[in-house]
Amino acid sequence: DIIDTDDAPAILDLVLRLSAAGHRRIGFVSWTYPVGGHWVARRFSGYVEALFYQGLEFRPEWVINVHKNSPKLLPPAVSAKVAEIHARDKVTAWVCAADHQAYQLAQDLPGLGLRVPEDCSITGFDGLDPAAGQKRVTSMRVPHEQIGSAAVTRLVNRIQHPTAPRRKILVEAQYVAGETIAPPAVKA
């Protein structure tokens, strides 16, 4: 049995909000991790679905640390790559696979000449609180309590019915309004 966050629709929601703010060129950022997981791929699928749904351009070079054959960039290099793509292709918004990535990007970009959100909008995922002095990242909150409750219910059911078919239960993430989305300053 699996109980998890319904990642793809949550990311779709964030991309729709970026599009509604006027962004037409939106990239996707993740970090690399020594232990793999499918959560980045599920969130990336929501990003691609949202671009398609909105009729926005998808370009693989606007995706960082997702494709297995792409260079694996560490956080400082991710920020530098975002700044480079912003300057070259006028990508004005970035969907980060997780809040800790988004907060780091928002912290790094001003040192590279980009203001958040004035020059570059950023979203995250997890609903984490900002560190002191940082703007709250626009995000989707992982519903930990609902996941835990569903897991306990599923466990009791599994004990009572050990041969029952396995279940995959996806719990909806909740929107967290932040301070990292603004209309694009640069017209593509």
Closest by CA to 93, choosing from 145, 25, 7, is: 25
Q: What integer pLDDT is reported at residue 187 of this predicted model?
A: 60
Q: How far is CA 154 from the centre of its chain?
A: 28
- Residues of the chain scoring pLDDT < 50: none
CA dist., res. 63 & res. 51, Å (int): 13
List the helix and strand counts (H, then E) for the chain.
Answer: 5, 8
- Whole-model pTM: value is 0.92
Residue 31 CB partners (closer than 8 Å, separation 6+):
65, 74, 75, 78, 97, 98, 101
The residue whose two tokens read 């964030």 is: 14
Summarised one tens digit per residue, pLDDT across range 18-71 is: 999 999 999 999 998 876 668 999 999 999 999 999 999 999 999 999 988 888
